Structure 1
């Protein structure tokens, strides 16, 4: 594992306009005592971990939930980031499907899942005498659309990026300057979000989603989803990924939309996508 970043070069190549904001964040982190950080490998937790490595490296431990809800890009980003961050990691195996309140996939699923995961992190941190548990929510995150935020508040988990007004675009700019490969990793909601609310979550459904999305990622797509609903499924993709699909031979419809090429449609159906529509729908956040 790499040596944590030197505290004598805290800013490195970070954009100069963000230096004062970085100073405030680092001062805030220094005042928290020993730190346990919930670390997924996404942009938010990677940025916060990288900052901790620069100002509190001897007092910070990362806690990672090994869960079937993580998509392949997020899992790969987690592994890639570890050496650059250089902080100790505690891996906690967790299967949220063991909790029937999560498996039922009702409106409060995210709350129960976040409560389950961070309760495990808080417990593991307490066993190690850690003073503060942190997570990576930022100022762009709206609590009304993220029920898990309530669980974090109930557990006393701190969100310094949100508290100090950090935006995702600012985090990306710093990570890019610090040469983290995942600086432009698209938002990657957990795989449970691909199954319509009210329909039970199963390991089989998650495996289908992961396999199909991996197939699409192999074509160069980044912001792409396989969504399951009432025995059918469809692919949703960002505008950029719609163009990528066209470039791989997916035909355009008369309305300007994109249809999955016959071969790709057949491959995704063979991976288990139920009643898969040929038409690719535009990706919409939270939909």
Structure 2
């Protein structure tokens, strides 16, 4: 598939990484996907998706499908650890992920590890950025001032539309075990049978906060949805995102 690129900063990015052997942290999100597509034009790229208990199971299947569609070299790694669910969870998670990828880089004699952090991310409160700095991870989009709008434009050119997704730990305000993660994962899968768009089921013990975009279909299926949720929660609050 031909990709039309006219932006000077992206051309400089491609020139800089030309001929490199790169391990790319691949989440299956739009940022890492577009970076993988771009770098694969000029470099040897191994995409690595790390599956943990707090990553939705459908994300692994999505990653495989995207890799097949865009002819990307993808490896799946499975890690059983659940990181501390604090305000620094993204730091701890990225520290774990990129330590694994750095080790892989050394074992395979690759040149560097990269991720899809873009320029706009640098101006937000993102604890995970500290882990990238500590582990010397390269972020080509951020390095060459590629912004989210640039990435979305490229995605549109390729007819790529991937909803933003966050890990299951964000559904809780406390440390959790795998049983609790699987419960929320299963309930969100149930909700996807009826609702389109973004779905976030926030677990607050006996209370659930359901954040959704598709209010129309929720109202149409209100009774069956609430009946299922009431098996697990005494109080349910529905919020339109």
Query: How does the TM-score come out when normalised to structure 1?
Result: 0.76
Cα 1:244/1:132, change in 2 over 3 Å: same
Q: Aligned ranges for residues 119-134 of structure 1 at < 5 Å?
A: 119-134=99-114
Alignment match of 1:269 (pick from 217, 230, 236): 230
- Cα distance in 1 between the residues matched to 2:122 and 2:226: 35
RMSD: 2.1
Q: 1:96-153 CA distances to partner (integer Å, 9 max, x unpaired)?
A: 32xxxx24x2232221121111111111121101111000111232565321111111
Q: Which runs of 4+ in 1 moved over 4 A?
A: none
- Cα distance in 2 between the residues matched to 1:158 and 1:70: 23
Which residue in 1 is equivalent to 2:152?
Answer: 172
Q: 1:137-187 CA distances to partner (integer Å, 9 max, x unpaired)?
A: 1123256532111111100011111222223332232223224xxx22121
Query: How does the TM-score come out when normalised to structure 2?
Result: 0.90
Which SS does the other structure have where 2:186 is aligned? helix
Which residue in 2 is equivalent to 1:24?
Answer: 12
Q: Aligned ranges for residues 96-135 of structure 1 at < 5 Å?
A: 96-97=81-82, 102-103=83-84, 105-135=85-115
Which residue in 2 is equivalent to 1:212?
Answer: 187
Structure 1 unaligned regions, length at least 5: 6-11, 251-260
Which residue in 1 is equivalent to 2:141?
Answer: 161
Which residue in 2 is equivalent to 1:255?
Answer: none
- Cα distance in 1 between the residues matched to 2:196 and 2:12: 37
Which residue in 2 is equivalent to 1:9?
Answer: none
Shift of residue 79 of structure 1? 1.6
Give the number of aligned pairs: 241
- Cα distance in 2 between the residues matched to 1:37 and 1:85: 15
Shift of residue 41 of structure 1? 0.8
